[in-house]
């Protein structure tokens, strides 16, 4: 049964649109369970009814025409209870309604299971049989399992389907809304440009051919290149292969024949589709057909066809590397937004960013915040390959993305943009004023940097130091490890620009979701794996070169501080200190005038929380990385949009840990305790951290003026009173609500996100 289940899910996942998905589901289930009827009812929110969308066994004319309200029939009851209903004779059930058009009077046995996606009932899956009998437990378990697995596919196809339907009808569906999570605040209105990862057939965007002959030409060149490659590989392996294995290469070549795939792709291009999408359509269609075959040998051929498709696509993409054209108001959309992609669009044209995967705590989102580009992450149902060139609105506050916006929606967001500009103008006047509370408490505000552009923006916004310079970013946008000299020059620019203010350089923090293209790390659980200091201590040659570059860069400036990421034990701190001391001695021996800079430890994992005092005895400062600390304390992957709702830095456990860290660190004299996670960049978060006694708040440059304004708008006493109330509470949602209400009462509501009608506070 497991095999049947796997096959159905696999086949359904590759169906091209919603109707095909539903038709396949009913046919396959009816066959697998040997029932007389299988039907799918989907809930249509606009009509507030369950509509019969597909059926094998009921009258065809009823499909699309029969519907039930949630309070009607057994289908309505399954939806309302959100649990299966298994009846030996449905007609005797009090909720039974006889729907004449379906012809279902002949069927007695009834099993209905809800289709639930992210807690929403999308619809109901029903099987029926003529006899009077109860479906047995294994049948019920089978349908429940299948329904749970198909829910995601149906939700995705539903979202995709309506965009396609809209586009095909000519009258595009307006205000199509996709839900994600906030990546960076702000609103963007513009046109979509899709960036596709290399050689990924599923990611090829729809586009018309500008010049059909040119597209045909490109395709034939790519095809010849692949044919050539296959022949070369075939020849070079000929000595090692038996003749029947060698024959596989001929099969490969024959598949690419004009009478086979190539002919089909060419005729698709002649219909006016660009070569990459023509290739995608034909290859994926064949992959679907082969995957559905009973014969395991033939089923395996699906992967050969996909492989050929990928190879041709790689050549096609090489032939049009500059095919991306950026509009004046570009909203960049990617399946998985990477830090490097942000650099691909000229900044004056880049209005917003959307990523299908990832969450507000992914590093791409953190960078977007520091660049001030509105971003929505984790828009998992966005059919991103179908929307290149569409008009769109991106709401980075609420994590919403709208396609083909109506005039009314456009006007509403223009209004928010105007409001934002007013707030920004007001905040700009604070640049040279200190972050001092109304009762005279001075809170130092520092910035987090990584990009060269951050330095100027940070100074313009009145930053008093750098609390976190993410050194991995210059490492990420290169093809190999930068040399000591190159690193030294990059670091020197940061130190000079901020001199005499302190600059905290974090040693290389790769691993997790931060990969270097030239140092790949493949792990099952990357966030629990080889990350941060674990890598650099294992590679003293990388660590020492970096520390030497930092020390040399600070020669004569002396405003450097070094910070160690992902520390879990005292031994790691001691080893790192030993290496730093060694670098100082080496450089002095070489004639450099270098001092041992202040060194600090990041508290990012629960183990570090309980050792703060021990660390504090050995180093000069403690800095909390609340992004990772929240992830590890709550056991919520910071990149996973499915659990983004559970990633709550205002969770009582996180707040208690933050409080404990500050108290423990302060027990050691002359040890500064700061925070450089994103919580410090939220007005409510900043007030709580100030009340807990943090010495420095470090944040992205974009939010610094808001935080300054929040601090200037309250007294320390008020912040402490607020924190005292929060401390008593045990529910994160209630804490968020209280914070929102209090910001409003203190006249600081405009510093958090603007409110759209009917929206609630966004905790992130």
Q: Which residues bind ligand PEP (CB under 6 A)?
A: 366, 468, 470, 509, 604, 625-628, 676-677
- 201/367 with CB nearer ligand PEP: 367
Question: How far from the centroid of its chain's Cα atoms is residue 251's Cα?
Answer: 40
Q: Which of 390, 676, 736, 764 is catalytic?
A: 676
Q: What is the rounded CA–CA span in Å between residue 212 and residue 674? A: 60
Q: What is the rounded CA–CA span in Å between residue 267 and residue 285? A: 15
Q: Which of residues 220-239 bind Mg ion (CB under 5 A)?
A: none
- 628 lies in the site for Mg ion, by CB under 5 A: yes
User: What's the chain's Rg over C-alpha atoms?
Assistant: 30
Residue 468 binding result from ligand PEP, Mg ion, none, given CB thresholds of 5 to 8 Å by partner type? ligand PEP
- 513 lies in the site for Mg ion, by CB under 5 A: no
**Binds Mg ion by CB under 5 A, chosen from 374, 625, 641, 705:** 625
- 266/626 with CB nearer ligand PEP: 626
Helix (H, G, I), strand (E, B) or coil at 89: coil
Q: Count residues near Mg ion (CB under 5 A).
A: 3
Q: Which of 108, 156, 286, 363 is catalytic?
A: 363
DSSP H/E element including 422: helix 407-428
- What are the angstrom distances between the C-alpha of 557 and each of 444, 490, 561, 622? 21, 15, 12, 23
Q: 48 burial class (0-12, 13-18, 19+ CB within 10 angstroms)?
A: exposed
Q: What is the rounded CA–CA span in Å between residue 119 and residue 29? A: 23
- 125/624 with CB nearer Mg ion: 624
Shortest spacing between CB 690 and ligand PEP, in angstroms: 18
Stretch near Mg ion under the rule CB under 5 A, chosen from 128-136, 464-472, 597-605, 724-732: 597-605
> Which residue from 615, 593, 594 is spatially nearest to 603, judged by alpha carbons?
615
Could you tell me which residues come within 8 angstroms of residue 306 by beta carbon, excluding any fewer than 6 positions away?
A: 201, 283, 287
- Our CA angle for 583, 586, 590, nearest 5°, is 135
- 364/726 with CB nearer ligand PEP: 364
DSSP H/E element including 675: strand 672-675
Shortest spacing between CB 605 and ligand PEP, in angstroms: 10
Shortest spacing between CB 470 and ligand PEP, in angstroms: 6
Six token digits for residue 446 = 């520092």
- 52/676 with CB nearer ligand PEP: 676
- Our CA angle for 323, 329, 333, nearest 5°, is 60
Stretch near Mg ion under the rule CB under 5 A, chosen from 314-322, 350-358, 596-604, 744-752: 596-604
Residues forming a β-bridge with 436 = 442
Peptide bond into 760 cis (omega under 30): no
* Residue found under tokens 């795939």: 261
Stretch near Mg ion under the rule CB under 5 A, chosen from 279-287, 438-446, 487-495, 623-631: 623-631
DSSP H/E element including 117: strand 109-117
Residue nearest to ligand PEP according to CB distances in the complex: 625
- 66/542 with CB nearer ligand PEP: 542
Q: Strands 109-117 and 85-87: what pairing?
A: antiparallel
- 155/624 with CB nearer ligand PEP: 624
* Residue found under tokens 């000591």: 484
Is residue 363 flagged as an active site residue?
yes
Shortest spacing between CB 643 and Mg ion, in angstroms: 18
Beta-carbon count within 10 A of 569 CB: 14
Is residue 736 flagged as an active site residue?
no
* Residue found under tokens 């596709």: 196
Q: Helix %, strand %, coil % for the chain, to 5?
A: 50, 15, 35
Dihedral of CA atoms 350, 356, 362, 365 in degrees, nearest 10, equals 20
- 535/676 with CB nearer ligand PEP: 676
- 23 lies in the site for Mg ion, by CB under 5 A: no
Catalytic positions are: 363, 676
Interface with Mg ion (CB under 5 A): 604, 625, 628
């Amino acid at each position: 049964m497991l095999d049947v289940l796997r096959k159905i899910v696999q086949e359904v996942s590759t169906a091209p649109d919603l109707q095909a998905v539903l038709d396949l589901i009913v046919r396959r289930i009816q066959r697998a369970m040997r029932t007389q009827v299988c039907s799918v009812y989907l809930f249509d929110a606009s009509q507030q009814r369950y509509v019969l969308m597909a059926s094998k066994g009921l009258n065809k004319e009823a499909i699309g025409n029969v519907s039930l309200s949630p309070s009607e029939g057994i289908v309505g009851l399954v939806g309302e209870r959100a649990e299966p209903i298994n009846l030996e004779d449905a007609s005797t059930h009090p909720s039974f309604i006889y729907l004449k058009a379906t012809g279902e009077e002949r069927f007695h046995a009834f099993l209905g299971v809800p289709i639930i996606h992210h807690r929403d009932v999308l619809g109901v899956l029903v099987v029926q049989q003529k006899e009077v009998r109860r479906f047995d437990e294994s049948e019920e378990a089978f349908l429940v399992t299948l329904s749970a697995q198909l829910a995601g596919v149906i939700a995705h196809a539903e979202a995709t389907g309506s965009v396609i339907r809209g586009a095909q009808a000519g009258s595009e569906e307006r205000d199509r809304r996709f839900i994600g999570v906030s990546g960076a605040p702000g609103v963007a209105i513009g046109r979509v440009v899709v960036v596709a990862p290399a050689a990924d057939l599923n990611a090829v965007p729809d586009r018309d051919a500008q010049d059909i002959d040119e597209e045909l030409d490109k395709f034939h060149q790519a095809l010849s290149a692949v044919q050539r490659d296959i022949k070369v590989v075939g020849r070079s392996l000929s000595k090692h292969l038996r003749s029947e294995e060698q024959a596989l290469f001929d099969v490969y070549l024959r598949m690419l024949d004009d009478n086979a795939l190539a002919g089909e792709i060419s005729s698709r291009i002649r219909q006016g589709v660009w070569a990459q999408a023509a290739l995608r359509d034909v290859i994926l269609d064949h992959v679907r057909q082969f995957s559905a075959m009973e014969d395991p040998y033939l089923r395996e051929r699906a992967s050969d066809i996909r492989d050929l498709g990928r190879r041709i696509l790689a050549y096609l993409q090489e032939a049009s590397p500059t095919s991306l054209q950026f509009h004046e108001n570009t909203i960049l959309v990617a399946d998985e937004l990477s830090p490097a992609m942000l650099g691909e669009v000229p900044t004056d044209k880049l209005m917003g960013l959307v990523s299908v995967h990832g969450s507000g705590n992914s590093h791409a989102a953190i960078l977007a915040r520091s660049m001030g580009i509105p971003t929505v992450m984790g828009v998992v149902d966005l059919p991103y390959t179908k929307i290149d060139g569409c008009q769109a609105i991106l709401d980075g506050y609420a994590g919403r993305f709208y396609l083909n916006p109506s005039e009314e929606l456009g006007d509403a967001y223009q209004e928010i943009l105007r409001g934002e500009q007013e707030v920004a103008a007001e905040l700009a006047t604070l640049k040279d004023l200190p972050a001092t509370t109304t009762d005279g408490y001075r809170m130092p505000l520092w910035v987090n940097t990584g990009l060269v552009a951050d330095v100027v923006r940070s100074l313009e916004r009145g930053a008093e130091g750098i609390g976190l310079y993410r050194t991995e970013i210059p490492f990420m946008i290169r093809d190999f490890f930068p040399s000591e000299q190159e690193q030294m020059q990059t670091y020197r620019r940061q130190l000079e620009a901020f001199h005499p203010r302190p600059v905290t350089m974090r040693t290389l923090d790769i691993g997790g979701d931060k990969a270097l293209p030239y140092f790949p790390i493949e792990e099952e659980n990357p966030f629990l794996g080889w990350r941060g200091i674990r890598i650099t201590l294992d590679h003293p040659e990388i660590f020492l070169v970096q520390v030497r570059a930092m020390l040399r860069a600070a020669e004569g400036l002396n405003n450097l501080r070094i910070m160690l990421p992902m520390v879990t034990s005292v031994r790691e701190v001691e080893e790192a200190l030993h290496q730093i001391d060694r670098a100082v001695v080496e450089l002095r021996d070489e004639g450099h005038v270098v001092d041992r800079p202040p060194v600090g430890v990041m508290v990012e994992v629960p183990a570090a929380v309980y050792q703060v005092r021990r660390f504090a005895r050995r180093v000069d400062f403690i800095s909390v990385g609340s992004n990772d600390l929240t992830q590890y304390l709550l056991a919520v992957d910071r990149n996973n949009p499915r659990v983004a709702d559970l990633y709550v830095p205002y969770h009582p456990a996180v707040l208690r840990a933050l409080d404990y860290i500050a108290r423990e660190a302060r027990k050691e004299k002359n040890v500064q305790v700061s925070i450089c996670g994103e919580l410090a960049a939220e007005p409510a978060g900043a007030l709580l951290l100030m009340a807990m006694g943090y010495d420095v708040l470090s944040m992205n440059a974009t939010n610094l003026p808001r935080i300054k304004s929040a601090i200037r708008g309250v007294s320390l006493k008020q912040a402490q009173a607020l924190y005292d109330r929060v401390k008593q509470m045990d529910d994160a949602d209630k804490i968020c609500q209280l914070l929102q209400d209090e910001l409003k009462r203190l006249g600081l509501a405009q510093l958090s996100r603007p409110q759209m009608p009917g929206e609630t506070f966004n905790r992130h």
